[in-house]
Structure 1
């Protein structure tokens, strides 16, 4: 007996596409939540330490989930070969400042200072959306483990753009330093870490290719602020 039209439609249904569409809707809703939280913090600043901690948790978790959703959509596009790098010339300082502004509520709630050290005239060719997403993810994670400071430093070094994101936390765990770009490296059920953020960042860096050279990512400890430092290099 032949399948009904509805059954045939079900057979052709791509669950990954449905999931990606749902993730997109969730990302938009979460973006509205973050905007509302930002307005609330501006109108009603925390009056005591307990309120500040509550805002910090809300800001961190909302920002983290938003970053995860964006990354899931990007990984979906990467798997289906629809993720492309769009190289254009950008002022590097503008890209970095945009990511700090994006997380201003989170930094305020956690009592952190974040700074950009970059020549305002420095320009480079890269995909601003993808590179901005990498920087945002590192900043959101850094905000969780930093004590007081985060620093983003960018400069030209031997014909490459070098962006170093440093914190004053305890540094990266040894498992991440040993195998930073393995899908299962650094997985922690206690804190929700899957290491997929670093894996995606590594792939995006490598997708930036110029004259046979490609971007790279490196993790180190004992950075300029005493904690961990992630260094992104683009040709």
Structure 2
């Protein structure tokens, strides 16, 4: 109190006395009226009713708040020219004081946090002043008003759970629920006493970090101590002196409601939030709204955003992560394919040059080896010449493969019946009796491909599969599946598989796991090129 005086205020009075007058007015109202009333001490509650439940404005009790009641007391005592500043914990009081009907009552409102800032600005601290008391009139039990149900205590009323004559509610959610049930007629009560906060002691204008019940205890101890010091007769005299004070007021409808959106719009917004049915509406409250439906309505009104929905945001984040993962996998696959293509192109150029240079002398060697074999009579020489011819023939096949690998054959697409193509490829391969062949065809059976080149691909892969199952044999399965856009051919065998470290190399030219003399390592490299020229993909899974 002394610190407030140091700021320059001539009078520092306690609003609790105005609360005593207001409490007395409520007690008298309930004794004389059987109507349904909503207490009007909390400006936030009054504003909410005027704006969003205008049909309840007639139920607002026409009694001023303790702040206005105290202002009227002080003006009677000190004259109408008195300038009054209200200091308290409630930011709602700023709106109440700025109301056109009350501008002459209160000239300014500052919160406790703003008061502390003023003390700091002017360098005023408790150690620099002597303790002081409020100017009269002093408060009685009206000083309990800042506590939930404090008004009932000051008025000598109590919340009767049997008759429901008086019902109290406090807190952001509970006071709204109580008002809506009151509007629906579900609450048969004479007085509905509401606070938007958990008591004024939890107002937004307080800097204290103390929890709720510690604050309640501090107020209770203050009032108990003050009541012991006060002269009860003096307080009663002050109450009688102002029993004729006009505490009446009125309230105006200020309808701020926005017409509810059509049901189809609500469902459309809910679907964008991933709420396709009632089970998807979790009503978790993370968005700040009690239900998903209320959030959707707020989005329609432009009061909220879809990103406020936590499950929706998490789902969108998951989709983004999945999309990035898929994009990254495609990038890696494309990069790998590009590197493979570059490798094949450079090796193809090299192979073409070597093949042409080697092919002519190799033909001469093969021709003379065969001629000498026919003319010589020495068995040992014949065997040696036969070996030369066989190895020269093997070299010729390698050279032929190199030429085919290097040659950029144009794809000649033709209308092909896929099952017939598979049958022709199987007939072209040498399949031992120990291998069982299974074919399956699904979907579209026709395709536009180069049949000769595709048979070469199938023959290469089928041959490798058969070699992988030697000598025990096994099952070779060829499956096709097609539609208007794509043809997929899957060839699988029951062989031992390919080790992971070798899978990246199988399409490299000259890479083979077969013994020397049994493979050139060009079959899959050629197949890779043919498939790529068809704008297709060839992959291995093992």
| CA distance, structure 2, for counterparts of residue 129 and residue 86 of structure 1 | 9
Report the equivalent of 1:182. 508
Over the residues paired in the alignment, what is the CA RMSD in angstroms? 3.4
Whether the 8 Å contact between 1:110 and 1:143 is mirrored in structure 2 is no
| CA distance, structure 2, for counterparts of residue 78 and residue 126 of structure 1 | 19
| CA distance, structure 2, for counterparts of residue 163 and residue 135 of structure 1 | 9
| CA distance, structure 1, for counterparts of residue 361 and residue 451 of structure 2 | 26
CA 1:219/1:158 → structure 2, altered by over 3 Å: closer, same or farther?
Answer: farther
1:216 equivalenced with 2:537 (yes/no): yes
- 182-191 vs 88-97, greater mean Cα deviation: 182-191
Q: How does 1:152-191 map to 2 (within 5 A)?
A: 152-156=478-482, 159-186=485-512, 189=515
Report the equivalent of 2:421. 95
Question: Can you list the C-alpha shifts for 1:143-197, whole angstroms capped at 9, x where unaligned?
Answer: 1222321011011269321101100011123343123322254455557444321
Question: Unaligned 5+ residue runs, structure 1?
Answer: 1-13, 23-64, 209-213, 222-235
Whether the 8 Å contact between 1:90 and 1:123 is mirrored in structure 2 is yes
CA 1:92/1:131 → structure 2, altered by over 3 Å: closer, same or farther?
Answer: same
Whether the 8 Å contact between 2:405 and 2:526 is mirrored in structure 1 is no
* Secondary structure at the counterpart of residue 124 of structure 1: strand
Whether the 8 Å contact between 1:145 and 1:170 is mirrored in structure 2 is yes
| CA distance, structure 2, for counterparts of residue 115 and residue 72 of structure 1 | 34
Report the equivalent of 1:76. 403
With a CA cutoff of 8 Å and minimum separation of 6, indicate the structure with the bigger relative contact order: 1
| CA distance, structure 1, for counterparts of residue 404 and residue 499 of structure 2 | 30
Aligned residues: 156
| CA distance, structure 1, for counterparts of residue 505 and residue 483 of structure 2 | 25
Deviation for aligned residue 1:110: 4.0
Question: Can you list the C-alpha shifts for 1:95-153, whole angstroms capped at 9, x where unaligned?
Answer: 001111223xx32x342111221149610111101110110111112112223210110
| CA distance, structure 1, for counterparts of residue 514 and residue 485 of structure 2 | 37
Whether the 8 Å contact between 2:359 and 2:399 is mirrored in structure 1 is no
Question: Which of 116, 135, 139 lines up with 2:439 in the alignment?
Answer: 116
- 136-145 vs 185-194, greater mean Cα deviation: 185-194
* Secondary structure at the counterpart of residue 455 of structure 2: helix
| CA distance, structure 1, for counterparts of residue 506 and residue 425 of structure 2 | 23
Report the equivalent of 1:196. 522
Question: Which of 122, 127, 142 lines up with 2:450 in the alignment?
Answer: 127
Question: Unaligned 5+ residue runs, structure 2?
Answer: 1-355, 365-392
CA 1:191/1:219 → structure 2, altered by over 3 Å: closer, same or farther?
Answer: farther
* Secondary structure at the counterpart of residue 215 of structure 1: coil
Whether the 8 Å contact between 1:184 and 1:194 is mirrored in structure 2 is yes
User: TM-score by structure 1 length?
Assistant: 0.55
| CA distance, structure 2, for counterparts of residue 19 and residue 158 of structure 1 | 50
Whether the 8 Å contact between 1:91 and 1:120 is mirrored in structure 2 is no
Return the structure number with greater strand share: 1
* Secondary structure at the counterpart of residue 218 of structure 1: coil
